[in-house]
Structures are given as C-alpha cells and as structure tokens.
Amino acid sequence: MLFSSITFLFYFLPILLIVYFIVPSKFKNLVLLVFSLIFYAYGEPIYVLILLLSCLVNFVAGLLIEKFPSKGKLILVLTIVYNVGQLVYFKYTDFFIANLNNIFNLSVPLLRIVMPIGISFFTFQTLSYVIDVYRKDVEASHNFLNFATYVSLFPQLVAGPIVRYKTVEEELKKREITWSGVAKGLFRFAIGLGKKVLIANLAGELVTNLTGLANGSVVASILTAVAFTLQIYFDFSGYSDMAIGLGMVFGFHFLENFNYPFTATSITDFWRRWHMSLSSFFRDYVYIPLGGSRVSWIKWLRNILIVWFLTGFWHGAAWNFIVWGLFFAVLLILEKKVYGKYLDKCGVFRYIYTIFFVVISFVIFQANSLGDAFYNLKSIFGFNGLPFINQETIYYLRSYGVLLIVAIIGSTPLLKNLVNKIKEHKGTGLKVMNIVQPALCLVLLVVVTAYLIDSSFNPFLYFRF
C-alpha cells in the first residue's frame, strides 16, 4: 500500500487515526502493530510471517545476549547470520545463480523468489538493535509488543528511514501526543505527499517519455538524467517526509533522512545529506568496526571499498548498483587523498562538480544493465551520433520546463528559509503562517487526489529495495 494512494489516504489512515485517538494509551502500541501488519499484508499477506518471525528471533536474541553475556558474541553472530541470510535469500539468490550460470556456462534455473517489501529496511533495523544490545548501547526490550511495534511500524516499515531502537526506545514505552505535534506531523506529511505526487511522479512521466523517444538527442539524454535525479530525490525524500510526519502524529520523533543534498559542496558532503540513516548505519556498523580511518592507508582503502560495495549492493541485486556504489568510493578516495583540500577554494565550482557527478551516478543507477548505463553515458557526452537537439526534445522542454524549475528550487532550502523569515515576525508572520499552512495542506490534498484519480502513474522507486 502506497502512502500516495486513495486507499491509504481515504480509508486506511482515517480509520487508524480514529481508533488510535479513541483507545487508552496502554493500547496504542497494539493498535499501531495491528494496523501496521494490515498495511504490510495489503501487498503480500504471506510475508507478514517473515516480518513477525524476524521480530521474534531478534527479540529473543536481545534477551539472550543480556542474560548470557559470556555467550553474547556467539548469539550476536548467529543472529547476524539469520538476518543477513534471510536478506540474501530473498534479494540476491537469483543474482548469484545468474552470475554462476554465466561464469561456468551452467543452466541452473532461477528460483524467481518474490522479495518481501521493505526487507532491506527492517533487516537493518533489527541488525542495529541486536548489535546495540551487544554493545550495551541499549537495554534489551522485555516487551514483545513494543519491540514488534518498533520493527513493523508502518510509517517507516517499507521505505525507511532506518530507525534505530535507541531513537524511539522511550517513546515506545511512553510518549506525549499533542495537538501541535499532530498538526506539525500532518503538515510534514502533506508536504511529502506533494513532493511525491506532484513533482516526483511528473518527473517520472518525463523520464518515461524521454526514454521512449524514437529519435533521441544529446539534450534529451541530459534531460533524462536530470529528471531522473530529481525524481528519485523527491520520490524518496517525499516518502521520508511522510514517514517522519506520520511518526509525529503518533508521538514518535524519527531522525531526518535528507538535508538538501543537492546543495552539497563535495561528494563527501553529499553523503552526509543523502539517505542519512543508511550512511550512518554503514558508518557505525561496518566502517568504524573495520577501523575507519584510524588504520593504515591500505586498510582504509579496503574499508572504503567494502562499505561502498555494500552500499551499492544493498540498493539492488544487479551489477549497475555495485558499480554505482564503487563509483562513489573512487570519488571519496580522490577527495580524501588527492584534491579534496582544493575544493574549499573553488567557490561555485564545488557545487557544479558535486551535481555533475551525482547526476552521472544516477545514470548508472537508473540503467537496467551496465551496457545500458554505458550507452546512456555515451549519449550524454555526444558519442552515439545523436543530434544535439531536435523538435521532440524541444517539445518536452517546453512541456516540463516549469516542473523542472519548481523541482530545482524545491530541492534547495530557499522556500524553507523564506518561511522561517516570515515566522521571525512573531506577530503578523505567525498569524499568516497559521492560516497558510492548514490551507496549503487542504489544497495539496485536493490537488493530489485529483491527480491520483486522473492518473495511473504512481510508482515508488525504493519499493524494489
């Protein structure tokens, strides 16, 4: 079930809100757990069992690590093997079979395993929990209802952000729900919904139209790359906004997942701003345990390559994702050891440099294969014999020009800074925003609903992860 769907917006969410705010506090986690399981079962009911089994295994593992500290490392290793093994089976089995067939000229049939939605996200959440319990960063949960609610909480279940147990530990036990918090949460949800439906979906339509052109051009190839970069940003950050907003409605405070990544001044800075919950996961649970940067140059190089190989592979069972991750690894190595110290002196060039390589990276990310990625990159740089521009490209530039301008402005903090400036005037400014924000929520809901009714194009890119 998509947040940006009629079913969710006008059936699931209203019913949940009514039930949630009627029941006493001691039953609120139970309500969230039941509705979260219904939400998850909407896509593929059988995989609710996988989710619940994951909850049970990691809950018991936490208790055992706490009770038998001398056996803690063994229990941790076995639990990691279970979690990673489950992820590998569902997500990567066919990838390994296909590659073994190619390497050894075999004909082992693919298993065509259907991957449970969100398995990459809830697996990383449970991994972070058992590791934190082993490290004594958190106490093991002794309440299965609370723990299962944490793992299966529907706002962040299928698309993140990756929420660590210590972030919501106290709020699972007791949380304060205020009308101001609910209002802020609904506004944040509305903004995310608008980003997803009115920008990401339209940018996705542009990408689809351009990739389907009978007569391509260099400009069309560049435009496709830019449009896809904007699509995936507004798609994923919009979903994160909706998740964070819904969390606030129910009394939870998730950490931010995006911080205007297209304003980054380096690739290092970009990854401090993009999908921050994933970056911090690999930093805290892979990079630092391997020694981080406090090792020899060769071992540091190894650490970087391992982390970014895993980052790419986490995104999908295909070589283009691995190359995408290693592409960033190379850039980060070069920034650290070669030219990073010069970037700070390069003024506006720092932004151009970062955006250029980010867009190039998403050409690799978007492709169905490495061959397609290489062809698309050649098209962008004019090596496929395409004309620089043609009438079809001009038509789409005119048709989607306003959208692209709005998306580019929306990917910067300009609007946020403007709102904050208005709010600084505590008299008139606050009164204006108190009227504008609820009105904007209603307008967004009406426009989004009209779009969803009229259009069948409503994908979510990160569902495949």
Q: How far apart are CA 233 and CA 149, in angstroms?
A: 28
Q: How far apart are CA 435 and CA 276, in angstroms?
A: 32
Ramachandran class of 160: left when φ > 0, alpha when ψ lies in -120 to 50, beta otherwise: left
Catalytic entry in 142, 253, 315, 425? 315
What are the CA-CA distances from residue 344 to residues 265, 337, 347, 360 (Å)? 8, 14, 7, 22
Question: 119-135 and 72-104 are packed helices; what angle lies between their axes, rounded to 10 degrees?
Answer: 150
Annotated active-site residue 142? The verdict is no
Q: Please report where in the chains the tokens 């030219």 appear, as a residue.
A: 339
Q: Which of 128, 162, 355, 407 is nearest to 276 (CA)?
A: 162
Q: How far apart are CA 60 and CA 218, in angstroms?
A: 56
Contact 119, 315 (CB under 8 A): no
CB atoms within 10 A of CB 155: 28
Q: Please report where in the chains the tokens 């169905």 appear, as a residue.
A: 368
**Tokens representing 341?**
């110290």
Task: List, by residue number, the catalytic residues.
Answer: 315
